[in-house]
Amino acid sequence: MTMTAEQPTPATAPEAPSTTGVLDRVLKVRELAIAVVLVVMLTATQLDNSAFLSQQGIKDLLLNATILVLVAVGQAVVVITRNVDLSVGSVLGISAFAAGDLLHGGGNPVLAVVVAVAVGAAFGVVNGLLVSLGQVPALVVTLGTLYIIRGLDSIWIGSRQITAADLPSGFTSFGHDGIGVVPYLALLTAVVLVAAAYYLRSYRSGRDMYALGSSPEAARLAGVPVRKRILAAYVTCGALAGLAGALYLARFGNVDSGTGNGYELTVVSAVVVGGVAFTGGSGSLYGAALGALLLTSINSVLPSIGVSSVWVQAIDGVLLLLAIAVDRVVALRVAGLLRKRAAQTRSAHHG
C-alpha cells in the first residue's frame, strides 16, 4: 500500500518529488531494518563462534541463500501485481529433474540450465494464462497447478532419482566453487537480482506491475495492458524457479520426485519478511532478497551457536508476524502523512 502513490501519476505532478522522497526514505528504512537485523544477528553469532564468518562460513551463508533468493525474487514480482504463485516448489522440482535427466544422458551443462529455465518459463506461461484469462484468484489457480505439476513430476520421474554420480563433476563443482568467498551461484543470483530490480524500478512496464498491484481497476483505466503484465510476471517467476531448480541440482547433487515439496511456503515467507506486501503494489526485489537471506541465515546461525533446530520454524513464524506488523504500522503512518500533505496542498490552492 505504501507505494501506491509512488507510481508517477501526472495528477500529483507538482507534489511528486517531495512525496516520492518521503516514501522512498520509508521504503529504504524498511529494507534497512532487515539489513540491520541481519548484520546484528551475524555479528552476534560471530562473537559467539569465531568460525562462523570464516571463509568457508561466508561462502556457505551465500550458497545457502542463493536458491531461495532466486525464487523469492520471482515470487516478489508476482506478489507486487497482487497475485501469488504457489506452484514454485513443484516447478523447481520438475525443472531440476529435467536438467538432471539431460546431464545424466551426457548433455551439455549450459544447455541443461537453459532447459530448466525453459521448463520453468513454460509453466509460468500456463499459470499466467490461467490467472489473467480465467479471472480466477491466483491462490486457487496456482494451488491447482502446484498439485498438477507435482503429479506430472511423480508420473514422469516415478522412483527414479538423479544422484551426484550421474552429474558431470564440472557441474557439481560449479555448485560450490567460486571466486574467493563469493560462489558462482551467488554471483549469478546477484546479476539476476540487480537486472530484475532495475527493470521493475526504471522501466514503464516494470512500473505497470506496481500500478496493477495497487489498484487493478485504476491500472486498467489508465491503459495498463493488464493481461500482458500478469503473464510477464508469471513467466519471470516460473523462469526463475526453473533456474533455481538447475542451481539446486548443482548444489545438492540429488533430485527425486519430492524435490521442492513445500518450498512455496518458505518462499512466500521470505517475500513477506522482505517487505513485499501481500496486498500488492508495494515492496522491492532487494527487500525480498534480503528477506530470503535473513531466513536462510537464521537456519545457519542457530546450529552454529548450538541452538536446536526445533526452534527454527517458531522463529521464522515470529519474524513473519513482526514483518507484517511493521508493514501495517508504516502503511498507516504513510497514509496519514499523505492525507496531511494533500490537505495542505488543497488549502494552499484555495488560498
* Interacting residue ranges for another protein, rule: CB under 8 A: 49, 51-52, 54, 56-57, 60, 64, 67, 154, 157-161, 163-165, 167, 169, 172-173, 175-177, 251-254, 256-258, 261, 296, 299-300, 302-306, 308-310, 312
Rounded CA-CA distance 297/93 in Å is: 23
The residue among 19 and 64 lying less far from another protein, judged by its C-beta, is: 64
Inter-axis angle of helices 184-202 and 285-304, nearest 10: 150
Rounded CA-CA distance 129/106 in Å is: 34
Work out how close the CB of 270 gets to another protein at its nearest, in angstroms, rounded to a whole number. Answer: 13
Torsion of CA 284, 287, 292, 298, to 10 degrees: -170
Alpha helices in 10-54 (DSSP H): 16-48
Work out how close the CB of 32 gets to another protein at its nearest, in angstroms, rounded to a whole number. Answer: 26
The residue among 218 and 315 lying less far from another protein, judged by its C-beta, is: 315
Work out how close the CB of 69 gets to another protein at its nearest, in angstroms, rounded to a whole number. Answer: 13
Rounded CA-CA distance 182/172 in Å is: 16
Work out how close the CB of 64 gets to another protein at its nearest, in angstroms, rounded to a whole number. Answer: 6
Rounded CA-CA distance 67/60 in Å is: 12
User: How far, in Å, are 222, 238, 328 from residue 284 at the CA level?
Assistant: 23, 18, 16
The residue among 91 and 197 lying less far from another protein, judged by its C-beta, is: 91
Work out how close the CB of 68 gets to another protein at its nearest, in angstroms, rounded to a whole number. Answer: 8
Q: How many CA atoms lie within 13 A of 225 on its CB side?
A: 8
Work out how close the CB of 75 gets to another protein at its nearest, in angstroms, rounded to a whole number. Answer: 17
The residue among 74 and 183 lying less far from another protein, judged by its C-beta, is: 183
Rounded CA-CA distance 245/172 in Å is: 13
Check the CA dihedral 163-167-171-176 and report its sign: positive
Work out how close the CB of 52 gets to another protein at its nearest, in angstroms, rounded to a whole number. Answer: 6
The residue among 312 and 324 lying less far from another protein, judged by its C-beta, is: 312
Rounded CA-CA distance 303/306 in Å is: 5
The residue among 181 and 342 lying less far from another protein, judged by its C-beta, is: 181
The residue among 137 and 258 lying less far from another protein, judged by its C-beta, is: 258
The residue among 109 and 128 lying less far from another protein, judged by its C-beta, is: 109
User: How far, in Å, are 71, 108, 143, 149, 202 from residue 257 at the CA level?
Assistant: 19, 22, 18, 11, 39
Work out how close the CB of 79 gets to another protein at its nearest, in angstroms, rounded to a whole number. Answer: 22
Work out how close the CB of 306 gets to another protein at its nearest, in angstroms, rounded to a whole number. Answer: 6
Q: Is 318 exposed, middle or buried (0-12, 13-18, 19+ CB in 10 A)?
A: exposed
Contacts of residue 332, defined as CB under 8 A and 6 or more positions apart, other chains included, come to: none
The residue among 92 and 230 lying less far from another protein, judged by its C-beta, is: 92
Torsion of CA 251, 255, 261, 264, to 10 degrees: 40
Rounded CA-CA distance 88/241 in Å is: 6
